[in-house]
Amino acid sequence: MKKPLILLFCFLCYVFISKAGVLVVEGKFQNKNVYIQNSFGANGVGFCATEIKVNGVVTTDEVNSSAFEIDLTAMNIKLGQKVTIEILHKSDCIPVVLNPEVLKPRPTFEVVSMNINSSDILKWTSKNESGSLPYVIEQFKWNKWVLVGEVQGIGSADTHDYSFQVTTHSGENKFRIKQVGLGVAPKISTAVLLNSMKEKPTFMVSKDLKSIQYSYETGFEVYDAFGTVVKKGFGKETNIENLAKGKYYLCYDNQVTEFDKKK
């Protein structure tokens, strides 16, 4: 008789477990609480969510209502710390997390120092990151800020050192860093300046009208009359053989000019 009873007990345990569901929400603590929309179960008896765990610890949040708050601020969690929320619920319904974006990283970094060395390496030290977001490096040229690269942020509040190899042009150079978070305005550093002694390159359209040639390597962009980028790159030459006849705008080094494609 013992063996059948044990099998029956195991079967009942399996049925109980199979009827439960777990909704998992993960992110980083941003000093915000999470709100849950909690419906009734399919049979109309009791609410859908039955228990809440945060980082493995059962919370005291009241789940027996149509909406409730998971109070993360009361759990001694540090800003930027990883948060895993487990919402145990009945199998015939699923609670709705109303504001999952509050666990996404926000741009909160502070620049301690930033400079460019003689090898054209942009270096910066920052602190107070509240989540791992990429640092976007931008250079001001051609009358606008141009994306030149990215470095992934570490994401903690400690002080961290970063570096990125940039390409400078003749004259005054401006660089800055920024981070963009979900649903919030980007955070942008002040610009760091460097005056370069590089010679300003010249350009000419080749006699066969198939290319633009520069006196030395440079970054370039070519726009058509409608402002659409048709060529982009870095080098001593831009191939324009496949461009239609007409007027174009050429951005190179830190210059903006124009040229005519005659055939």
pLDDT tens digits for 159-186?
A: 999 999 999 999 999 999 999 987 678 9
Q: Does residue 117 surpass a pLDDT of 80?
A: yes
Q: What is the CATH number of the domain that holds 236?
A: 2.60.40.3080
Percent of the chain having pLDDT more than 90? 64
Range of the domain at 232: 203-261
pTM of the model: 0.73
Q: How many CB atoms lie within 10 A of CB 135?
A: 20
pLDDT tens digits for 213-248?
A: 999 999 999 999 999 999 999 999 999 999 999 999
Q: Does residue 190 surpass a pLDDT of 50?
A: yes
Given 103, 122, 155, the domain boundary residue is 103
> CA neighbours within 13 Å on the CB side: how many for 29?
20
DSSP state of 73: G
Count of structural domains, the chain: 3
Same domain, yes or no: 27 and 59: yes
Q: What is the arithmetic mean of pLDDT over 99-104?
A: 89
Contact 127, 100 (CB under 8 A): no
In angstroms, the CA 220 to CA 248 distance is: 13
99, part of any domain: yes
